[in-house]
């Protein structure tokens, strides 16, 4: 039990005292046959009405899939919107500090900079695990970003480290589980009730194959969700996104089958990558991508570009010199990649 954590002390004063915008759909959400309350165009084309600001139908489906009450969820225009909402709800610009454990997902830093926050940049250790001592030495920070499996390194954060931080960090812990559906460890959703300081982020962009519709999921205590609801743009998830997500979330088997295939392809790629002479290290991966260390990342990157294949060059990132990140594609795509890699190997 984390006795140091007090949500009240973390909410920005302007947010606490804010009288939120109340939309037409907030003020009347029952069933009626005539809606003359939102200045919409009355002629039905499928999208002439404002969307449900709380996306209840979609949250109901997600709640079945995730095993968590609808009231413990906030949906956003991608996880990126929820990251921004969190910073705006809890962190005072040019005053408050957030902790980022690098190398990790770049949006944490960019979102923090946009919100003019102080950034405590702590390095992950040689196993890409967070620096617990460094984090607890900065226990006056409002928010700590953790990513597990981490992008771009592909590893999970050890459970022991995670629980220690959840028990001892005084601020909010944002645990980004964008890739959890590919991982051996289970999501922390089941343990949310134990940790009032925990916010879990998931997304439909990766395992569910819906990057194009932009839908991110934030999961936390009702109290945290209420604060975020207060400041979110009223209609942040549009009708087309809500409808398409509901449709595709109906087919859990499709997503499970795709995940299985991607994991099988990943095992094959891990094995094949280790056989290439220019590959110095293949990092273990709990996600749908693989990080490799090569002799000359720029040369390989450029060679593949000329073959029409784009991977992610991470060589300019601290601790990732000469590293490249490769997403797992379809069988055909992966085979094309390896044809090119073998050709590069021969040169």
Positions in the binding site for ligand PLP (CB under 6 A): 78-80, 105, 147, 151, 176, 178, 203, 205-206, 211, 216
Rounded to a whole number of angstroms, the CA Rg of the chain reads 22
> Smallest distance, Å, CB 78 to ligand PLP?
3
> Smallest distance, Å, CB 177 to ligand PLP?
8
* Rounded Cα distance, 255 and 243, in Å: 17
Q: How many CB atoms lie within 10 A of CB 5?
A: 20
CA dihedral 105, 109, 112, 116 (to 10 degrees): -170
> Smallest distance, Å, CB 126 to ligand PLP?
21
Residues in the chain: 347
> For ligand PLP, which is the closer residue by CB, 104 or 138?
104
Q: What angle do CA 250, 253, 255 make, to 5 degrees?
A: 85
Matching residue, tokens 């790629």: 269
> For ligand PLP, which is the closer residue by CB, 49 or 312?
312
By the 8 A CB rule, do 273 and 279 touch? yes
> For ligand PLP, which is the closer residue by CB, 205 or 322?
205
Burial of residue 55 (number of CB atoms within 10 Å: 0-12, 13-18, 19+) = buried
> For ligand PLP, which is the closer residue by CB, 328 or 341?
328
> For ligand PLP, which is the closer residue by CB, 11 or 215?
215
* Rounded Cα distance, 168 and 177, in Å: 21
* Rounded Cα distance, 92 and 290, in Å: 37
3-state secondary structure of 12: coil
> For ligand PLP, which is the closer residue by CB, 5 or 105?
105
Which residue is closest to ligand PLP by CB? 78
> For ligand PLP, which is the closer residue by CB, 69 or 211?
211
Residue 111 token pair:
């979102």
> For ligand PLP, which is the closer residue by CB, 100 or 273?
100
3-state secondary structure of 324: strand
Phi and psi, residue 50, nearest 5°: -65, 150
> Smallest distance, Å, CB 130 to ligand PLP?
15
How far separated are the first and last CA of the chain, in Å rounded?
A: 58
């Amino acid at each position: 039990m984390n006795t140091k954590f007090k949500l009240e002390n973390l909410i920005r004063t302007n947010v606490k005292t804010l009288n939120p915008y109340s939309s037409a759909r907030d003020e009347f959400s029952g069933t009626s046959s005539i809606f003359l309350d939102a200045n919409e165009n009355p002629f039905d084309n499928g999208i002439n009405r404002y969307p449900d600001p709380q996306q209840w139908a979609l949250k109901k489906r997600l709640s079945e899939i995730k095993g968590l009450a609808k009231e413990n969820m906030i949906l956003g225009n991608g996880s990126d919107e929820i990251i921004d909402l969190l910073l705006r709800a809890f962190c005072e610009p040019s005053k408050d500090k957030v902790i980022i454990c690098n190398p990790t997902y770049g949006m944490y830093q960019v979102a923090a900079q946009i919100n003019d926050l102080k950034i405590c940049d702590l390095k992950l250790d040689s196993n890409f695990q967070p620096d617990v001592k460094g984090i607890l030495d900065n226990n006056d920070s409002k928010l700590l970003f953790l990513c597990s499996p981490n992008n771009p390194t592909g590893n999970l954060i050890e459970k022991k480290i995670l629980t220690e931080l959840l028990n001892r960090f005084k601020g909010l812990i944002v645990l980004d589980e964008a890739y959890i559906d590919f991982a051996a460890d289970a999501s922390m959703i089941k343990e949310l009730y134990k940790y009032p300081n925990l916010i879990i982020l998931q997304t439909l962009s990766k395992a569910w194959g819906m990057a194009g519709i932009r839908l991110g999921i934030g999961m936390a205590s009702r109290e945290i969700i209420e604060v975020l609801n207060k400041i979110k743009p009223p209609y942040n998830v549009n009708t087309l996104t809500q409808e398409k997500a509901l449709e595709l979330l109906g087919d859990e088997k499709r997503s499970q089958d795709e995940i299985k295939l991607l994991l099988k392809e990943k095992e094959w790629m891990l094995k094949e990558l280790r056989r290439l002479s220019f590959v110095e290290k293949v990092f273990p991966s709990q996600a749908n991508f693989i990080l490799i260390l090569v002799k000359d990342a720029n040369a390989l990157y450029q060679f593949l570009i000329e073959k029409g294949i784009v991977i992610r060059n991470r060589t300019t990132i601290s601790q990732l010199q000469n590293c490249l990140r490769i997403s797992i594609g379809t069988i055909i795509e992966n085979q094309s990649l390896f044809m090119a890699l073998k050709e590069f190997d021969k040169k």
